[in-house]
Structure 1
Amino acid sequence: MNFESRMWDELEPGMSAELRRLCTADDFYVFAAASGNHNPMHLPQGEGEGAPKAEPVAPGMFVASLISAVLGNILPGPGTLYRSQTLTFHERVRDGEELISKVTVKAKEPGGILVLATEVRRVGDDRLILEGEARVEAPKTKIHYEELDAPGLIVQRHRHFEALIAKAEHLPAMATAVVCPVEESALDGALISAEHHLLAPILIGNPDKMAKAAKALGKSLDAYEIIATETDREAAQKAVELVRAGRVEAIMKGHLHTDDLLHPMLDKQAGLRIGRRFTHIFVMDVPGVSHPLLVTDAAINIAPDLATKVDIVQNAIDLAISIGIEVPKVGVLSAVETVNPAMPSSIDAALLSKMAERGQIKGGIVDGPLAMDNAVDLGAARTKGLRGEVAGHAEVLVVPGIDAGNMLAKQLAYISHAEGAGLVLGAKVPVILNSRSDSAMARLASAAVAAIHANRLREARL
């Protein structure tokens, strides 16, 4: 967009200019952060006492600010300064509505002052949203530039997880064996999930340590079943027994090593194997990305061979379908987007893509090899001449090995401010893996994703 100021003597009554703007919920969050106005009437899913449940309305002064965009960008343009502005509001604006803001020169006053009629109308029905009058100082010097070097903004909120948690809260609370919740963060993850009606936890471990952790959290364990065990391995074995007895539909990791948790599940006779390898999946809610992003495998399989990658992809597709992605688009990552015989990950990626075409992997669209940029960015994909359904649109990212997966997941978390829900699939029930550094949102999301997936498995058995 070109920006050029128009001087006082260039303007005449009747001249006008306008801009169109699609209003989004992110606009309301940005305005709240910039203005300090946190009125829940304007914020999606307000949770304060008495907060409205209806769709939020745009702040009035946000709508009014669209007038200043026309004044400052077009007419009179760069260099314009406000003297005064009157406003009368006629209608409310909501998320997803498109507006046209317009200014029209009414009069010219001595001293370089312009008087302009101002209005905002809704696109579609042409309803008048607001009207008023502005008095401004016209630019005193000619200013011209082609674009403004302003930083882009990404709203750091986690709407995908909020939606998954809301969906899971309407399901029956999932009976869950919580293994060794003997440390505050581990116990708190189970308890807050129970408070949100996501889980019905059975706590397995040292009762004295659990009581001490609960006291530190200021919470009571009176409402929960507790099974006493002496060792971590014994607690994990008890969780497996509860699954085999049909008492629980999920297992949640507490304060113990992942190897100790999984070891009894992998027992060929008395474990929880179902014929697939155990694989780990991060469901990531990345600010600015329009869908949940699944990353696999970042925690279990160190250097997976092709057969293991088949299970990694299939487990991820199954989970993606559970959380609402009807036909998941799976990008199998490598350093390049072409097959290179010297790069094993690119060969595996091509084979996985072909296996999906032949029906050996079901339920999703698999493409590879893809480099990270052309897996998630449409512009990068088109630059490389990639026009498949996955390139630029990947919803599942399959990494070559645990190093790449762990780095990718942590980069998304610590640099891109994503939240990650972690599950292990391949067992008879989903296994919830939480880290001590996980936020309350990540813990709730992990429980929600597990509950949604377990519910789909339950419905498939009926």
Structure 2
Amino acid sequence: MRNFNEVIRFARERGPKTISVACCQDKEVLIAVEMAREEGIANAILVGDIEKTKIIAEELQIDINNYELIHIEDTSEASRKSVELVSTNKADMVMKGLVDTSIILKAVLDKEIGLRTGNVLSHVAVFDVEGYDRLFFITDAAMNLAPDLNIKKQIIENSCTVAHALDIELPKVAAICAKEKVNPKMQDTVDAKHLEEMNERGEIKGCIVGGPFALDNAVSIEAANHKGINHPIAGKADIL
């Protein structure tokens, strides 16, 4: 899949999913779920302060009757309910609304109703960048501050799950560092090489891992050629 237009078409062909929106009383959130509904890719269950949500929806000329509504004013309880809808298979995914990240993550990690998978929780952002023939998956730019080698392995596995869901069968994963050569004094470059070796041994599956790479020679074939980097991933990375 090469761009967001293809992603939308791919999602539309598979039929709409159900989004559980935690603390839905937010303008940008309502605009997003309405766009998804109009595109035919998602429905939404709106959980939160419904009276405030109705006021915002009226201002945006959005028909709130197109959605299932659950009125819960308390942000913690609304977050728990939104997560519970997913864990009980009444919704497919959670969307963060007007609520602090720490509050919704507490619900996501709850032992009773949470969405734990066994792997570390990590962030994946998908970008459609003009001038490139593919999507970019950036991870982890939001959650894990100083991951060790094992956590980095799990972050790669999580990002590959996202890439596979978008029909990218064998994503190319570039371990990005400040420089593209292993330096024993720079642990990230050492870890990058270890991740590549783990992939070669079959310990990280469903992708091709390479590293260390600098950002330019991971995404640009010209930059990789300029520095004489000969690697299957050089200039062709999907996941950074």
* Equivalent in the alignment of 2:169: 326
Instruction: Using the TM superposition, give the Cα deviation of residue 207 of structure 1 relative to its aligned residue in structure 2, in angstroms.
Output: 1.0
* Equivalent in the alignment of 1:356: 199
> Deviations along 1:251-287, whole A, 9 cap, x unmatched?
1111112221111111234321010111111111000
* Equivalent in the alignment of 1:215: 58
Change in Cα spacing, 1:244 to 1:326, as seen in structure 2 (3 Å) is closer
> Deviations along 1:119-168, whole A, 9 cap, x unmatched?
xxxxxxxxxxxxxxxxxxxxxxxxxxxxxxxxxxxxxxxx7111111121
Residues in 1 aligned to 2:66 and 2:8: alpha-carbon distance in whole angstroms: 22
* Equivalent in the alignment of 2:217: 374
Residues in 1 aligned to 2:55 and 2:35: alpha-carbon distance in whole angstroms: 17
Which residue type is aligned with residue 172 of structure 2?
Answer: K
Residues in 2 aligned to 1:386 and 1:317: alpha-carbon distance in whole angstroms: 24
* Equivalent in the alignment of 1:390: 233
Instruction: Using the TM superposition, give the Cα deviation of residue 290 of structure 1 relative to its aligned residue in structure 2, in angstroms.
Output: 0.8
Matched, 1:186 2:39: no
Structure label with greater radius of gyration: 1
> Deviations along 1:158-201, whole A, 9 cap, x unmatched?
x7111111121122210111111102111111122112111111
- Alignment partner of 1:299: what SS? coil
> Deviations along 1:364-397, whole A, 9 cap, x unmatched?
0000011112111223223333211101111111
Among the aligned pairs, what percent are the same residue?
39
- Alignment partner of 1:396: what SS? coil
Which residue type is aligned with residue 175 of structure 2?
Answer: V
2:11 to 154, 168, 172: 168
Residues in 1 aligned to 2:199 and 2:32: alpha-carbon distance in whole angstroms: 37
* Equivalent in the alignment of 2:149: 306
Compare the two structures and name the one with the higher strand fraction: 1
Which residue type is aligned with residue 341 of structure 1?
Answer: P
- Alignment partner of 2:124: what SS? strand
Matched, 1:345 2:182: no
The higher relative CO (CA closer than 8 Å, separation ≥ 6) is in 2
Change in Cα spacing, 1:223 to 1:379, as seen in structure 2 (3 Å) is closer
Residues in 1 aligned to 2:101 and 2:35: alpha-carbon distance in whole angstroms: 22
Which residue type is aligned with residue 166 of structure 1?
Answer: R
Matched, 1:238 2:81: yes
* Equivalent in the alignment of 2:116: 273
Which residue type is aligned with residue 193 of structure 2?
Answer: A
1:262 to 86, 102, 105: 105
2:208 to 344, 349, 365: 365
Residues in 1 aligned to 2:113 and 2:51: alpha-carbon distance in whole angstroms: 29
Task: Note if contact 1:336-1:371 (Cα within 8 Å) is conserved in structure 2.
Answer: yes
Instruction: Using the TM superposition, give the Cα deviation of residue 304 of structure 1 relative to its aligned residue in structure 2, in angstroms.
Output: 1.7
* Equivalent in the alignment of 1:296: 139
Which residue type is aligned with residue 190 of structure 1?
Answer: V
* Equivalent in the alignment of 1:283: 126
Residues in 1 aligned to 2:225 and 2:39: alpha-carbon distance in whole angstroms: 43
Superposition TM-score, scaled by structure 2 size: 0.95
Which residue type is aligned with residue 268 of structure 1?
Answer: K
Compare the two structures and name the one with the higher helix fraction: 2
Unaligned runs of 5+ in 2: none
Task: Note if contact 1:184-1:216 (Cα within 8 Å) is conserved in structure 2.
Answer: no
Q: Number of aligned pairs?
A: 239
Task: Note if contact 1:236-1:261 (Cα within 8 Å) is conserved in structure 2.
Answer: yes
Q: After TM superposition, which residue ranges in structure 1, 4 or more long, deviate above 4 angstroms? A: none
Instruction: Using the TM superposition, give the Cα deviation of residue 329 of structure 1 relative to its aligned residue in structure 2, in angstroms.
Output: 0.7
- Alignment partner of 1:340: what SS? coil
Superposition TM-score, scaled by structure 1 size: 0.50
* Equivalent in the alignment of 2:71: 228
Backbone CA RMSD of aligned residues: 1.4
Which residue type is aligned with residue 202 of structure 1?
Answer: I
**Structure 1 range deviating more: 284-293 or 374-383:** 374-383
Which residue type is aligned with residue 334 of structure 1?
Answer: C
- Alignment partner of 1:271: what SS? coil
Task: Note if contact 1:193-1:199 (Cα within 8 Å) is conserved in structure 2.
Answer: yes
Unaligned runs of 5+ in 1: 1-158, 398-462
